[in-house]
Structure 1
Amino acid sequence: MKRLDCAALLLAAASVFSTSAPAAPAAPARRAPPAQYENWGVCPFECCTYRDWTATDNIPVYQDRKAGSALAFSLRRDEKATALTGVVVTQKAARIRIASAMQDGYLDGKDGPQLSLKPGDIVYLLAPLGEGAFLFWYQGKVYRSSLELGSLPTINAEQARMVWWKQIRNSAGKSGWTRSDKFANADACG
């Protein structure tokens, strides 16, 4: 399966920021991620890179990332554009039951896995990162997985519903959003 096809199948994205009043007691961690969870900046396949891309077909680019948004512009086949960023929106996370004990869950700035997962624990697939790694939700936090978690036979990523929106700027300086995967040069590995 081509990488972009895989990304389109699995798609999702971004950090959710929450604030609480300093004096308020801590709220219990959510067991499942919120609906429409957004992971900003995720490029959801191995070697995926936001940079100059080339349209491989005619592509509509919209003003906003929502159904019914007005058309901002269209890219023509072979037209170059700059992919600025993206967001993978997880509309439904895949629910994964851990079958055997494992150390997993990586966070930026932390050494080693942060979680000791036990049989029966539930994690939620948020977005693919390529080569069997994922972003996943566990008890209110988002982690990067190891390949061990990604290789579990219980993972059925097809249960997830994700949409990958890309922010594109054309040569005239206009920017907008598209869900199209019809681009060349998105894969830095070739």
Structure 2
Amino acid sequence: MTNSARWVLLSGLFVASGLLPTPAQNDPPTIYVVEGACPYEGCKYGEWRAEKPVIVREQQDTSSNVVCVLHKGDGVLALGGVVMTRPGVARVLRNKDDFKEGERFLIYTYEGEGVVKIWYQGQMSEIDTLTLCNAQCINGIECYRWMEDPPDCWAIVEKHPESSWWVRVKGANGAEGWCLNDYAFCEVHGYDACPP
């Protein structure tokens, strides 16, 4: 018996005996975390400007210690971000592919180009949102009130996902920290550049 085969056998015995934890059940995440995310099309990190007062904190937590407060017009270097999402829920209205009428699935994050990440039948996958009803706030951060329900929708969003976008910033004074980005910034250069 090879060493790797012994390791697999011993690992199995330890798990069966309760000495090692069993692998996690295939449950959906209660909070889905995407490191490095910039959650809208055209978004990029780099030079940003505060559009309103912004609290910069030590950790990605609204109760964390305050590092500094940015004022409207202050420039920062946006270093990266993390999007944390509590899932939304959709109900299947009519059979489509593997989805059966009456079933529900969880909606997590917007991936771009009308695609969202979902949890269905014990695993993550992606679907097109353009054929869902009530999908105006599907990305969890921004609502598209102009969107109308398609005539051929096969599922309805009963609860929209709720996302928080934490951005790691570095101020002109060198202070670094995390801020909850609730449309507090605009990009100095880029697709969604700051207004003049």
Residue 100 of structure 1 aligns with which residue? Answer: 94
SS in 1 for 2:52: coil
Counterpart selection for 1:127 from 74, 86, 109:
109
Change (3 A) 1:44 1:58: same
Cα drift, residue 56 of structure 1: 1.1
The one-letter code of the counterpart of 2:174 is G
- 1:34 lines up with 2:36 in the alignment: no
Superposed counterparts of 1:13-28, under 5 Å: 23=12, 28=25
Identical columns (%): 24
**Where in structure 2 are there 5+ consecutive unaligned residues?**
1-9, 16-21, 134-152
Distance 2:36 2:190 in 1: 16
**By how many angstroms is 1:137 displaced?**
2.0
Q: How many Å separate the matches in 1 of 2:29 and 2:130?
A: 25
Rg bigger for which structure? 2
What does residue range 6-155 of structure 1 map to in structure 2 within 5 Å?
23=12, 28-30=25-27, 33-91=28-86, 93-102=87-96, 116-130=98-112, 132-148=114-130, 150=132, 152=153, 154-155=156-157
RMSD: 3.0
Q: TM-score, normalised by structure 2?
A: 0.63
Cα 1:140–1:52, aligned 2, differ >3 Å: closer, same or farther?
Answer: farther
Count matched residues: 154
Change in CA separation of 1:149 and 1:175 when aligned onto 2, cut-off 3 Å: farther
Q: What CA distance in whole angstroms lies between the structure 1 residues aligned with 2:32 and 2:52?
A: 29
What is the Cα deviation at residue 169 of structure 1?
1.8
Preserved CA contact (<8 Å) 1:167 1:178: yes
Could you tell me which residue of structure 1 aligns to residue 6 of structure 2?
A: none
* Residue identity matched to 2:74: E
Give the secondary structure class of the aligned counterpart of 2:39. coil
| TM-score normalised per structure 1 | 0.65
Answer yes or no: is the 8 Å Cα contact 1:133–1:150 preserved in 2: no
Q: What's the secondary structure of 1:49's corresponding residue?
A: coil
Give the CA deviation at 1:54: 1.0
How big is the shift at 1:42?
A: 2.5
State the alpha-carbon separation in 1 of the partners of residues 61 and 120 from structure 2: 28
**Alignment match, 1:183:** 185
Greater RCO (Cα-Cα under 8 Å, separation 6 or more)? 1
Structure 2 vs 1, CA of residues 129 and 48 (structure 1 numbering), >3 Å: closer, same or farther? farther
Which stretches of structure 1, 4 residues or longer, exceed 6 Å deviation after superposition?
Answer: none
Alignment CA distance shift 1:118-1:51 (3 Å):
farther
Q: 1:130 deviation in Å?
A: 4.7
